Amino acid sequence: MNWKSALFLNLYFVRVLVLTGAGVSAESGIPTFRGKDGYWRNLDPTKLAAPEAFARDPQLVWDWYLERRQRIRHAQPNAAHEAIARLAHHADEFLLVTQNVDDLHARAGIPAEKMVQIHGDIFVTRCSSCDFWYLGRGGLPEPPGGGRLRSIAPTFDDHVDLPRCPDCNALMRPGVVWFGEQLPWNEVQRVENFLDRGACDVVIVAGTTATFGYIVDWALRASRNGADLIEVNPEETPLSRFATRLLREPAAIALPRIVHELIT
Ligand code: OAD
């Protein structure tokens, strides 16, 4: 008996891992990193999302993140985010690992305990030197309660003051993982714990180029016992050759259909 029939007869415990990337938010109007819309002021996003870029020109990097925050605040979850949230509610054990720093999965209804934002959260602002951080959905790097943040004087009229840490006076930065930086240890542990507790029945990888080894590794480890490994991506990726099912379609089209198949 396969897991779908067993599930139907309530004999089975279903574990699902979903890995997502920028392509899942593309249809909400958020440009992907490596897509043709990704460039900002003629700059390559993969170069802006880097500690060297922040060291060289923190104002430029903040401007880019402020625009991205604004776009995300005005965006709505699409049918792909909603389908994944439906799956999260139906599976016995579920984990979403997203590389997206937007909040569209959360706004579609995935609870925090079922989601790992492995590249951080764009609405977090944290100190570039110490552990101080805060979360806020405002457009500017706004001060936390009590106005503890100090800022340096603006150099141009149209520039936002760069916020400084109230504890150590270093520059504050967006709370995201940049190229070459370590992944957040606690979040990696959450993924590892989920994988250690057992193999999955279904693994879905959607909207990511899967350029990072850990994404490929997690997808393969989760599907090690013959799980369905479903890839949703209009283009080929390093994971495509391992997939048991390839859907070369936009995520907002393919995911509602797959989730409907899985839960009915
Ligand atoms: P990318 O921008 O590299 O890739 C987007 C992927 O989505 C590509 O494989 C596209 O083919 C696919 N895609 C585009 N539109 C789609 C759609 N409508 N439906 C489904 N798929 C679609 O984004 P990621 O793979 O997420 O990291 O990039 C991973 C990481 O690289 C980001 O988190 C960021 C970036 O640099 C850091 O900043 C560390």
Q: Is 240 in the pocket of ligand 1 (CB under 6 A)?
A: no
CA of 262 to the centre of ligand 1 (A): 25
Nearest alpha carbon to residue 214 among 236, 238, 231, 245: 238
Q: Is 81 in the pocket of ligand 1 (CB under 6 A)?
A: no
Ligand 1 atom nearest to CA at 208:
25
* Side-chain-side CA neighbours of residue 92 (13 Å): 14
Catalytic, 74? Answer no
Cβ-contact 77, 27 below 8 angstroms:
no
Cβ-contact 85, 110 below 8 angstroms:
yes
pTM: 0.90
What pLDDT, on a 0 to 100 scale, did the predictor assign at position 47? 84
What pLDDT, on a 0 to 100 scale, did the predictor assign at position 157? 38
Q: Is 250 in the pocket of ligand 1 (CB under 6 A)?
A: yes
Ligand 1 atom nearest to CA at 237:
9
CA of 146 to the centre of ligand 1 (A): 38
C-alpha–C-alpha distance, residues 221 and 198, integer Å: 10
C-alpha–C-alpha distance, residues 183 and 47, integer Å: 18
CA of 100 to the centre of ligand 1 (A): 9
Q: In the chain, what is the straight-line distance between the N-terminal and C-terminal CA atoms, in Å? A: 17
| Residue tagged 């995300």 (tokens) | 72
What pLDDT, on a 0 to 100 scale, did the predictor assign at position 37? 73
What pLDDT, on a 0 to 100 scale, did the predictor assign at position 139? 57
Mean pLDDT by 10 residues, the chain (264 residues): 58 84 96 78 83 95 93 97 96 96 98 97 96 81 49 42 93 96 97 96 97 97 94 97 97 97 86
